[in-house]
Structure 1
Amino acid sequence: MIVENTQTQMRKGILEYCILSIIAKGETYASDIIAELKKAQLLVVEGTLYPLLTRLKNNGLLTYNWVESTSGPPRKYYILSDEGRKVLEQLDKTWEELSFAVQTAIGNRK
């Protein structure tokens, strides 16, 4: 259906921004990213998250540390790189501009 496709595209468009924003708060484990997104009602599964994290890492926006776990294998914690922080600052500005533009465009429809 057209509406579902548009909704999916809108969510995909902001997912990377949200993930970078979550990781900017400090070292973050993948399941914690999923939990934060879920709290914001952005449901993401591991099969979507891990390829995105890999792409962000390959683009130089993230690094990671392995941390030993008392309950299993070591865990990979993601960290924003300096380049990632610069990109996030640009995305913050873009979001503010885009959010304002959308609110202006749709006006008081309701």
Structure 2
Amino acid sequence: MSTRTFRITVRGVFDGLSSGQRAELLADAAEHDVLRAAFTPEGHLTYDLAARPAFTFRFQDSGDEEEHILEATERAEEAARAWLAGRGYGYKNLRSSAEDLSQAPLGKRQRRAAARKDA
């Protein structure tokens, strides 16, 4: 049995931020720029509060079976909620999506490499 890698994206919208919280997020915006986006075990947050109040957390997790993706998604959502609650940030419309990378289609380069290996 092989280990599967899961990528979980948790999205939402900041809600009811105070002017101090907004200023805090804007001050830290460079750390959370979408150009730095990465899937990490602890979760990586991106947002552009100057453009819109939406945010995205990206998590990477793993499991041995396909069903473990549900548990990984629950852990990611809980981690996102805990991060937001720990800072007192209000939010709404929290939703998530997950992908099992073992089920992802191969890209063009990966297909070529696989064809060369089989030849």
Relative to the length of structure 2, the TM-score reads 0.25
More helix by share: 1
TM-score (norm: length of structure 1): 0.27
Larger Rg: 2
* Greater RCO, CA 8 A, separation 6+: 2
Structure with the larger strand share: 2
